[in-house]
């Protein structure tokens, strides 16, 4: 057999460039995604999307043959080891994934060292913005957390808000919420900000959150749906939900199921929760739909049904990761095509990576723009409760990253976003001052009875009080929280964690 096929192969190798228009290029792709179905970006969800892209690309780029190998990335170092092991033999030409920050850090560093392009729909943390050295080959096909923060920046400017309390739930594993709000903190450093952690212990007291942070106008949260509800109930009970504060929840990945009564639990607090949620707004990804998307979405549904996936209720739902990895292959193919036309090969990783940047392609759900730093430009939507009676939500505003425009929709009620600044706060401060005046009055009677001494004491006391109050205010609002918040959010940058590991 081999004796006969060998000449045939030789013939094909020699003449195939002549027989077909474009030369055949075998492209080794290594996809590093978890096998565990409980992730939104597990292999079983993302693989059909990558295959879909592969099929579609066959028409546009008949010369490209993608050989896609899936490797497990269930545990933090699996992905890194898989890359190292595979590369002993032959280095991949393209890496897709990993998504989770701690895994991505190691893999992207090694790949960048080897000049292998990496495209991920994850690695959304702020640290991955640094493309100068360690993450030089990383292209992010999904909008990072800093891009998400742009919608907050736009809102703060539009509605003239001044301060924010960032509340995040810390799971001490993937730390998605931590990294989400780190993006906000990074972009909006010039605003007055406080940071608080929601601990996962059942004994955590939600009421305590609002004991100390009353003067923060906007509360930006990232936490599980049940925790958000607890926080909103606590805020409602402290009467913070009637316009004195704005509440935001960042929910990027499970956006489809949000708005379907997430305040509703069927318990005795439902009614209270509905009222509280009237002042809760949610930032999610902007959804766009185009005709091809219908087919894609149906195919994804079909392939997961065929697999009969275990431990995965809504696997058929297309999410940002599924879309992203589809578009990743499309982006790579167009960059490689362009690169080869100008004389480079698939091994010129740096050249291909740079051609993926500052580029717009037609993705499965709409246009995908990668900025000059290799990061996807993000479009986001703001959802708010538009009917307090039924507790239903609508998209009230959109943010477009490409032209940085914040677009208000007719459903938006501007009074809903107008802070009722607590005018009575200075009044209250005066009241607090009054007891000292009252004390002064009784001291005054002392003046008439005694001598000038009483008046001197009164004046001294008044100045002491005043200075004391100013000092306290400086200490609580000034430098101290500033350094604390920096410390809190910076202590765990991907860099420090991984250089320690």
Ligand X SMILES: *[C@@H]1O[C@H](CO)[C@@H](O)[C@H](O)[C@H]1NC(C)=O
Cβ burial of 4 (10 Å; 0-12, 13-18, 19+) is exposed
Window 5 to 44, contacts with ligand X (CB under 6 A): 36, 38, 40
What contacts 395, CB < 8 A, 6 or more positions away?
381, 382, 383, 409, 411
- Single residue of 22, 75, 160, 242 touching ligand X by CB under 6 A: 242
Question: Mapped to the 3 state alphabet, what secondary structure does 463-496 carry?
Answer: HHHHHHHHHHHHHHHCHHHHHHHHHHHHCCCHHH
CB of 41 to ligand X, least distance (A): 11
User: Which residue blocks in 34-160 are alpha helix, DSSP H?
Assistant: 43-60, 78-89, 101-113, 145-159
Q: Does 257 bind ligand X (CB under 6 A)?
A: yes
Residue 405 is a binding residue for ligand X (CB under 6 A): yes
Which pair of structure tokens corresponds to residue 293? 């998307």
8 Å CB contact between 336 and 93: no
With contacts defined by CB under 6 A, name the span among 3-11, 292-300, 429-437, 461-469 that binds ligand X: 292-300
Binding flag, residue 361, ligand X (CB under 6 A): no
**Of the candidates 87, 244, 386, 497, which one interacts with ligand X according to CB under 6 A?**
244
Rounded to whole angstroms, the Cα distance separating 220 from 190 reads: 16
Of residues 40 and 458, the one with the C-beta less far from ligand X: 40
- Element counts in the chain: helices (H) and strands (E): 16, 15
Q: In what order do the strands lie in the sheet with 280-285?
A: 192-198, 163-169, 218-222, 246-250, 280-285, 379-387, 392-400, 405-408
- Stretch 311-350 residues interacting with ligand X (CB under 6 A): 314, 344, 347-348
**Nearest-approach distance from CB 479 to ligand X, in angstroms:** 29
Beta-bridged to residue 394, according to DSSP, are 384
Q: Does 137 help bind ligand X (rule: CB under 6 A)?
A: no
Query: Which residue lies nearer to ligand X by CB, 365 or 458?
Result: 365
Pick from 16, 22, 200, 239: which binds ligand X (CB under 6 A)? 239
Among 136-144, 239-247, 266-274, 463-471, which window interacts with ligand X (CB under 6 A)?
Answer: 239-247
> Judged by CB, which is closer to ligand X: 225, or 361?
225
Exposure class string for 441-460: b at 16+ Cβ within 10 A, else e: eebeeeeeeeeeebeeebee
* H-state helical runs in 99-206: 101-113, 145-159, 176-187
Under rule CB under 6 A, residue 260 binds ligand X: yes
Number of residues in the chain: 501
Q: How far is the CB of 449 from ligand X (least distance, A)?
A: 43
Give whichever of 271 and 314 is closer to ligand X, judged by the CB atom.
314
Residue selected from 299, 394, 433, 482 as contacting ligand X according to rule CB under 6 A:
299
The answer to the question of residue 422 lying near ligand X (CB under 6 A) is: yes
**Positive/negative CA dihedral, 306, 307, 312, 314:** negative
Q: Is the peptide bond before 98 cis (omega within 30 degrees of 0)?
A: yes
Residue in the structure block whose two tokens are 């392609």? 361
Contact 231, 198 (CB under 8 A): yes
Instruction: Please report whether residue 295 would count as binding ligand X according to CB under 6 A.
Output: yes
User: Toward ligand X, which CB reaches closer, 47 or 352?
Assistant: 352
- In terms of C-beta density within 10 A (0-12 exposed, 13-18 middle, 19 or more buried), how is residue 474 classed? exposed
Number of residues that bind ligand X (CB under 6 A): 26
Q: Write the CA distances from 302 to 173, 252, 294, 295, integer angstroms.
A: 32, 24, 12, 10
- Asked whether position 262 contacts ligand X by CB under 6 A, the answer is yes
Closest approach of ligand X to the CB of residue 7, in Å:
32
358 binds ligand X per the rule CB under 6 A: yes
Q: Is residue 254 close enough to count as binding ligand X by CB under 6 A?
A: yes
Tell me the closest approach of the beta carbon of residue 56 to ligand X, in angstroms: 9
CB of 99 to ligand X, least distance (A): 13
Query: Does 298 sit near ligand X (CB under 6 A)?
Result: yes
225 belongs to the binding site for ligand X (CB under 6 A): yes
114 binds ligand X per the rule CB under 6 A: no
Nearest-approach distance from CB 351 to ligand X, in angstroms: 4
- Report in angstroms how near the CB of residue 358 gets to ligand X at its nearest: 4
Query: Pick from 203, 403, 448, 483: which binds ligand X (CB under 6 A)?
Result: 403
Query: Which residues of the shown chain bind ligand X in the complex (CB under 6 A)?
Result: 36, 38, 40, 225, 239, 242, 244, 254, 257, 260, 262, 295, 298-299, 314, 344, 347-348, 351, 358, 372, 400, 403, 405, 420, 422
């Amino acid at each position: 057999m081999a004796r006969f096929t060998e000449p045939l192969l030789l013939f094909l190798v020699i003449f195939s460039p002549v027989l077909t228009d474009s030369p055949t290029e075998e492209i080794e792709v290594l996809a590093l995604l978890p096998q565990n179905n409980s992730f939104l970006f597990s292999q079983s969800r993302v693989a059909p999307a990558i295959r879909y892209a592969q099929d579609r690309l066959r028409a546009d780029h008949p010369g490209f043959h993608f050989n896609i190998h899936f490797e497990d990335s269930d545990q933090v170092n699996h992905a890194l080891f898989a890359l190292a092991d595979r590369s002993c033999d032959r280095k991949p030409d393209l890496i897709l994934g990993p998504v989770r920050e701690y895994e991505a850090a190691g893999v992207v560093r090694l790949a960048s060292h080897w000049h292998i392009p990496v495209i991920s729909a994850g690695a959304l943390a702020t640290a991955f913005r640094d493309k100068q050295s360690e993450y030089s080959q990383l292209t992010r096909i999904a909008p990072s957390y800093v891009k998400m923060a742009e919608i907050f920046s736009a809102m703060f400017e539009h509605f003239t808000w001044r301060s924010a309390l960032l509340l995040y739930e810390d799971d001490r594993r993937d730390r998605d919420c931590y990294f989400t709000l780190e993006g906000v903190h990074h972009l909006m450093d010039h605003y007055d900000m406080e940071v608080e952690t929601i601990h996962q212990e059942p004994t955590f007291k939600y009421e305590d959150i609002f004991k100390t942070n009353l003067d923060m106008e906007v509360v930006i949260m990232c936490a599980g749906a049940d925790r958000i509800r607890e926080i909103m109930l606590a805020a409602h009970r402290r009467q913070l939900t009637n316009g004195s504060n704005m509440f935001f929840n960042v929910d990027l990945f499970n956006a489809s199921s949000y708005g379907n009564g997430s305040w509703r639990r069927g318990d005795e607090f439902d009614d209270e929760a509905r009222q509280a949620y009237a002042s809760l707004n949610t930032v999610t990804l902007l959804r766009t739909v185009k005709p091809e998307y219908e087919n894609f979405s149906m195919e994804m549904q079909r392939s997961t049904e065929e697999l009969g996936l275990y431990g995965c209720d809504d696997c058929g739902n297309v999410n940002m990761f599924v879309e992203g990895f589809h578009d990743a292959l499309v982006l790579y193919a167009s960059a490689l095509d362009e690169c080869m036309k100008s004389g480079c090969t698939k091994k010129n990783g740096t050249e291909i990576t740079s051609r993926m940047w500052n580029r717009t392609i037609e993705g499965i759900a709409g246009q995908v723009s990668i900025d000059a730093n290799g990061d996807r430009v993000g479009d986001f939507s703001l959802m708010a409760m538009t009917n307090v009676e039924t507790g239903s939500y609508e998209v009230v505003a959109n943010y477009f990253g490409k032209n940085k425009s914040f677009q208000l929709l007719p459903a938006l009620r501007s009074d809903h976003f107008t802070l009722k600044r607590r005018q009575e706060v200075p009044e209250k401060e005066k009241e607090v001052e009054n007891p000292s005046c009252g004390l002064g009055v009784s001291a005054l009677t002392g003046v008439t009875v005694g001598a000038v001494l009483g008046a001197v004491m009164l004046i001294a006391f008044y100045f002491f009080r005043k200075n004391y109050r100013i000092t306290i205010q400086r200490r609580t609002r000034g430098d101290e929280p500033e350094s604390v918040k920096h410390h809190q959010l910076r202590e765990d940058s991907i860099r420090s964690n991984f250089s320690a590991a």
